[in-house]
Amino acid sequence: MHSTRRAETFPANTPAASQVFTTVLSHGPLTRLEAARRAGLSPAAVTKAVRPLIEAGYLTEDADAEARPTLGRPANPLRVNGGRALFIGAKVTGDEIIGVLTDLCCQVRISRHVPLSAPDPRAVLAALAALVQDLMTEAHGLGAGVLGLGVAVSGDVDRGAGTVRYSPFLEWRDVPLAELACTTTGLPVTVDNDVRALTVAEQWFGAGVGLSDFAVVTVGAGIGCGLVVHGRVVAGAHGVAGEIGHVTVDPAGPPCHCGNRGCVEAIAGDAAIVRQVREATGLTVADTGDALALAHRGVAGAREVYARAGAAIGRGIATVANLLGPERVIISGEGLAAHDLFAEQIRDAFGAAAFGSAARCDVQTRPLPFEQWARGAAATAIQSFIRADEQRPGR
Amino acid sequence: MHSTRRAETFPANTPAASQVFTTVLSHGPLTRLEAARRAGLSPAAVTKAVRPLIEAGYLTEDADAEARPTLGRPANPLRVNGGRALFIGAKVTGDEIIGVLTDLCCQVRISRHVPLSAPDPRAVLAALAALVQDLMTEAHGLGAGVLGLGVAVSGDVDRGAGTVRYSPFLEWRDVPLAELACTTTGLPVTVDNDVRALTVAEQWFGAGVGLSDFAVVTVGAGIGCGLVVHGRVVAGAHGVAGEIGHVTVDPAGPPCHCGNRGCVEAIAGDAAIVRQVREATGLTVADTGDALALAHRGVAGAREVYARAGAAIGRGIATVANLLGPERVIISGEGLAAHDLFAEQIRDAFGAAAFGSAARCDVQTRPLPFEQWARGAAATAIQSFIRADEQRPGR
DNA sequence: AGGATTAATTTCCGCTGTCAATAAAAGAAG
DNA sequence: CTTCTTTTATTGACAGCGGAAATTAATCCT
């Protein structure tokens, strides 16, 4: 995270305070006693930790009039005051930037698309600045300040340093994006890999809440994977992890741009599906919309392509499950528009290839609008804001 | 870990003490200042933490006469007093138990093999008791007490509960091994999966020292994998992880006992190699020794089998590297006897299938005598002893 | 009005690790 | 041979965090 100006800071001085806040953020309204239990603290600690947070307006206590027990002093459930702070999340793709304005609870308030003429850093930065400007003026009407900007980019991103080390899609190398964006927008900036950002959103606000080991698999132009192990998102020693897209599922399969054959992505990625449907049907197939339409119209060749894609994805997920034994795998991404065409095959292939207890892993599909990518970026900004001065416990 | 008697406990009451001890254990002799830096503590904290450990004889300070700087007060490097305590590690296989007596530094002092008539829990427990008895009498001559027993078993093991949930090799289900072994031996017992145990040994005493993300891949009867992510061994939500053996590398490959085709194990496992060499040469091949001999004699068919095995292993490792981005992969196991026959293919296949920065992962081969499996078990016992009352930070 | 019951808070206390100052153990310099 | 310099280790005062137990608060029940 980078920031120049003296930005508003989060008044969670102690580990316990940060812990409690995160717990309440993820687990909805909680009484102090429940929060204490969940965070592994004493009630007294919660009371102390919570006071400055309430005073600063980040937490509120609302005696929930309904649903109260018949006996004893009624509880004052704590909840995060979403409207207290706003964040901007932006996802940069090859041809556009998707931006969202979210509140502290990562609820999307406003979303915007900005087309990109060229994906070079200069143009992206200009578009990003305009986008942020736009969203910040909108934010004025909401009565809260924008406290951070998260940017999600595909590829090798060093979140700690705030730099994009290498993004094949954008053809960037060693771009200090956080620093640049910070100087143009004046906001504290967090830069992270797009799939990891989405994983953070799921971990704090989605289907990964409360789980210490799970995976997010995204299906779309590429096949990506975000991993949470021991309660933390895996970044890998070299900043890259979760490359499920290039797991080989069939050495005799179609060639992949990565140089191998039969990668998941070469079978189930958008481009691969379009190509395969075209070859199978002999018809004109311009994009995944066309491919999908053909399959939905019942064209056998197209359906088979999706079935094979599902099997490839299922086998890729089984590989993750076999290696890491996650509690849950969340399948998501635009590719899920074809959900009905390959969900069964995913499940079957997973079941066949998952070994022993790994098969007990809960595989969920979670269709997700494209703006969720930008929401993931906002989630990283929220995370950075809350943990502003926290250190990672190395070791 | 299970223990009935009041056993000797480790005087590291505080987190810092445990931290410092572990640091010195892994990083050899260290001055207090170096230890403080490495453990992220103040020198004062090290002094305080270290005192009871020295008094109890677990640490010693030896002014290293040689190699001292020319100026200033000479340092008193701290080192672990290996001879202070002894541990027993045992690896249970289908037909024998390998046991080792190690010191606190996990140096093997004595090793023993005990044949097993049948792998049912009764027989194993009897053999284990005899083995422990034997090693404990040997231990008397070494002037230190045996403070723990570690047992390594393949399959699904719940270390926390001390039970073997399911071991296909031994055909065990839900055997409370720690409890049983504790009552027969009177020692505190730690039970863990064999590959994870080996991984712990590498993490604390081997090629994984100082790394927060690495993998151990074992090649032998099966192909196993132990993972360390965020500095902790991965156990998986359901107690199973690291099943690299059943990663599919060739859907058209030979069938595997797991029900799929072309698993790494079905190509590079001992049984697969023996079968394939037999088929390729038409000769009598009883075991891996025969297969190895043929290959070393230059029989083309046999050499090809090993080459294919190497490629399969390399691809499996690449999958791990792509998913987790480890800093290092340590290849080990009895199968490395064929190291010269497939090391090149492992490297080539890894290089071809590793994507982007994942290729920067350092792949090492580390031939390891079979008794190292038992040493891994001892390492888990040492770990349990040192962290006797520590809790895992869930979340 | 006075229990009964559950929630939250307060007060006090112990413990851990840091800070800054100090002691220790040498060689170097005069 | 004393004193200075340099580096390592220790000491003692101190601050902060979180916990235990007692206390207060808020409500319903009798």
DSSP state of A334: G
* CA A308 to each of CA A29, A157, A311, A355: distance values in angstroms, whole numbers, following the listed order: 44, 32, 5, 21
Q: Is the pLDDT of residue A393 over 50?
A: no
**From start to end of A182-299, where are the E strands?**
189-193, 214-219, 223-229, 232-233
What's the pLDDT at B393? 32
Query: Which of A48-62, A254-268, B144-158, B298-312 bottoms out in mean pLDDT, i.e. has the lowest?
Result: A254-268
For residue B326, list chain A residues with Cβ-Cβ distance below 8 A.
236-237
Output the average pLDDT for chain A.
Answer: 92
Nearest Cα to Cα of residue B93 among B383, B377, B339, B384? B377
Q: How confident is the model at residue B395 (pLDDT cuts 50, 70, 90)?
A: very low
* Of residues A267 and A368, more confidently modeled: A267
CB of A30 within 8 Å of a chain B CB? The answer is: no
Q: Is the pLDDT of residue A394 over 80?
A: no
CA proximity to B46, closest of B62, B58, B30: B30
- Tens of pLDDT, residue by residue over A53-63, are 999 999 999 87
Please say if the pLDDT value at position A392 is more than 90: no
Distance between CA B322 and CA B24 in Å, rounded?
Answer: 32
Asked whether A156 and A196 are in contact (CB, 8 A), the reply is no
pLDDT score at B357: 84
Report percent pLDDT > 90 for chain A: 79
What share of chain B in percent tops pLDDT 90?
Answer: 78
Instruction: Give the strands of the sheet with B189-193, arranged side by side.
Output: B108-115, B96-103, B86-92, B146-153, B189-193
Which of B261-265, B291-295, B346-350 has the lowest average pLDDT?
Answer: B261-265
Residue count (chain B): 395
The helix/strand/coil state of A338 is: helix
Distance CA B207, CA A163 (A): 30
Residues forming beta bridges with residue A164, ordered by sequence position: A157, A175
Question: pLDDT confidence of A271, banded at 50, 70, 90?
Answer: very high
Determine the longest span between alpha carbons in chain B, in angstroms: 73
Region A89-100 average pLDDT: 96
Residue A202 has pLDDT above 60, yes or no: yes
The three-class DSSP label of residue A232 is: strand
What is the nearest CA distance from B231 to chain A, expressed in angstroms?
Answer: 6
Q: Do A323 and B355 touch (CB under 8 A)?
A: no
CATH of region A85-201+373-386: 3.30.420.40
Inter-residue contact B291 to B341 (CB < 8 Å): no
Tell me which residue in A244, A248, A322 faces B246 most closely, judged by beta carbons: A322
The CATH classification number of B84-201+373-386 equals 3.30.420.40
Calculate the alpha carbon distances from A379 to A104, A164, A169, A322, A374 in Å.
Answer: 9, 18, 23, 29, 9
Q: Do domains B15-80 and B84-201+373-386 have the same CATH topology?
A: no
Say how far apart CA A253 and CA A75 lie, in whole Å.
Answer: 60
Terminal C-alpha separation, chain B: 22
At residue B197, the pLDDT reads 98
Model confidence at A380: pLDDT above 80: yes
Amino acid found at A263: C
Query: Is the pLDDT at A2 greater than 70, yes or no?
Result: no
Whether residue B24 is predicted with pLDDT greater than 50 in this model: the reply is yes
Compute the nearest-CA separation of A222 from chain B (Å). Answer: 14
A52: pLDDT strictly greater than 80:
yes
Q: Is A325 on the interface with B (CB under 8 A)?
A: yes
Domain A210-365 belongs to what topology? Nucleotidyltransferase; domain 5 (3.30.420)
For residue B72, which nucleotide's C1' is closest to its Cα? D7
- Return the minimum-mean-pLDDT range out of A12-21, A209-218, A221-230, B57-66: B57-66
The Cα–Cα gap between B28 and B35 comes to: 10
Q: What is the mean pLDDT of residues A281-286?
A: 94
Q: How many CA within 13 A on the CB side of residue B82? A: 14
Structure tokens at A247: 């797991």
> How many CB atoms lie under 10 A from the CB of residue B202?
27
Tell me, what's the pLDDT at A395? 28
- B215: its two tokens: 């993998």
Q: Which residue has the tokens 């199973």?
A: B240
Is pLDDT at B167 greater than 60 in this prediction? yes
Which B-chain residues 31-70 have CB contacts (< 8 A) with chain A?
40
Chain B residues closer than 8 Å to A260 by CB: 352-353
B338 touches chain A (CB under 8 A): no
Chain D positions with any atom < 7 A from a protein CB: 5-12, 16-21, 25-29
Q: Where are the beta strands (DSSP E) in A126-256?
A: 146-153, 156-158, 163-167, 172-175, 189-193, 214-219, 223-229, 232-233
- The model's confidence at residue A250, banded by pLDDT at 50, 70 and 90, is confident
pLDDT band at B257 (very low <50, low <70, confident <90, very high): confident
Interchain contact, A322 vs B247, CB within 8 Å: yes
Once rounded to an integer, what is the mean pLDDT over residues B310-339? Answer: 95
> pLDDT of B337-365, one tens digit each?
999 999 999 999 999 989 888 899 999 99
Give residue B6's pLDDT.
56
Residue of B nearest to A38 (CA): B395
Residue with tokens 């200069």: A122
Token digits of residue A252 = 């005799």
Interstrand relation of A96-103 and A108-115 (parallel, antiparallel or unpaired): antiparallel
pLDDT at A66 over 90: no
> CB contact, 8 Å: B84 with chain A?
no
Contact B234, B242 (CB under 8 A): yes
Q: Which of chain C's bases lie under 7 Å from a protein CB?
A: 4-11, 15-20, 23-28
- Scan residues 288-307 of A and list those with Cβ closer than 8 Å to B: none
Q: Using pLDDT thresholds of 50, 70 and 90, give the confidence band for residue A15.
A: very high
Comparison of pLDDT for B1 and B156, the residue scoring more: B156
Interface of B with A in 254-273 (CB under 8 A): 258-260
pLDDT in tens, A310-333: 999 999 999 999 999 999 999 999
Q: With 70 as the cut, is the pLDDT of residue B391 above it?
A: no
Distance (Å) from CA A46 to C1' D20? 15
pLDDT surpassing 80 at residue B251: no
Q: CA-CA distance, A162 to A101, in Å (whole number)?
A: 21
- CA/C1' separation B142–C13 (Å): 46
Contact check, Cβ <8 Å, B242/A352:
no
Summarised one tens digit per residue, pLDDT across range A100-148 is 999 999 999 999 999 999 889 999 999 999 999 999 999 999 999 999 9
**B200-245, pLDDT tens digit by residue?**
999 999 999 999 999 999 999 999 999 999 999 999 988 888 889 9
**Helix axes of A15-26 and A372-386: crossing angle, nearest 10 degrees:** 150
**What architecture is the A15-80 domain classified under in CATH?**
Orthogonal Bundle (1.10)
Helix (H, G, I), strand (E, B) or coil at B6: coil
CB B185 within 8 A of CB B125: no
Percent of chain B at pLDDT exceeding 70? 95
| A149-158 per-position pLDDT tens digit | 999 999 999 9
pLDDT given for residue A69 in this prediction = 65
From CA A106, how far away is CA A98, in angstroms rounded? 15
Identity of the residue in A250, A320, A357 whose CB atom sits nearest the CB atom of B239: A357
Verify whether the Cβ–Cβ distance B239 to A325 is below 8 Å.
yes
Distance of C1' in C27 from CA in B72, Å: 7
Span A353-373, average pLDDT: 91
The band of B164, judged by pLDDT with boundaries at 50, 70 and 90, is very high
CA distance A178 to A188: 8
Q: Could you give the residue ranges of the DSSP H alpha helices within A27-113?
A: 32-39, 43-55
- Could you tell me how many residues make up chain A? 395
Domain boundaries, chain A: 15-80, 85-201+373-386, 210-365
Q: Would you state the structure tokens that stand for residue A316, as one six-digit string?
A: 């890729």
If you write DSSP's letter for every residue of B53-120 in order, what string do you get?
Answer: HHHTTSEEE---SSS--SSSSPP--EEE-GGG-EEEEEEE-SSEEEEEEEETT--EEEEEEEE-S--S
What's the rounded Cα separation, in Å, for the pair B310 and B195?
20
